[in-house]
Amino acid sequence: MSEFESQIYADGEDIFSIGDLAEHLYIIEKGEVNLINAQANVFACASPGQSFGEAAILQGGVRSAGARAHGEVACRRISAEKASELLLSHSPLLIVILEALLLQQSMQNALRNP
């Protein structure tokens, strides 16, 4: 993961907001990230070793949730382009499967948070 850009976010700092273009996905190395819905409620918390912002691997993806640092957060930021390259280098089928899973997750989130 050393080839991915390292980012540090201060407590309470927005990492991205709803409606932002999804250009990166993130892997948390230290700290926690709150995921925020349209009503400004925290609906999930990601911790070290977990990823968030996976919609970035979809071409033209737009953020359906916000992400905010809870305490100081260190993470690796991976561009959508680099993530696609990595997936394609293993199997083009991985992108199709991940897109289907992300679409399903997005639909479930929409039903849960009207």
pLDDT at 32: 98
List, in order, residues 6 or more apart from 8 with CB less than 8 Å away: 72, 73, 74
**Structural domain range at position 95:** 5-112
pLDDT digits (tens, 9 = 90+) for 49-65: 998 988 766 656 788 88
Q: pTM for the complete prediction?
A: 0.77
pLDDT at 73: 98
We report the CATH number of the domain holding residue 48 as 2.60.120.10
pLDDT digits (tens, 9 = 90+) for 77-105: 988 888 777 777 776 666 667 667 766 66
Nearest Cα to Cα of residue 66 among 98, 84, 41, 48? 41
Domain count, the chain: 1
State the DSSP H helix or E strand holding residue 36, giving kind and residue range, or none if neither: strand 24-36
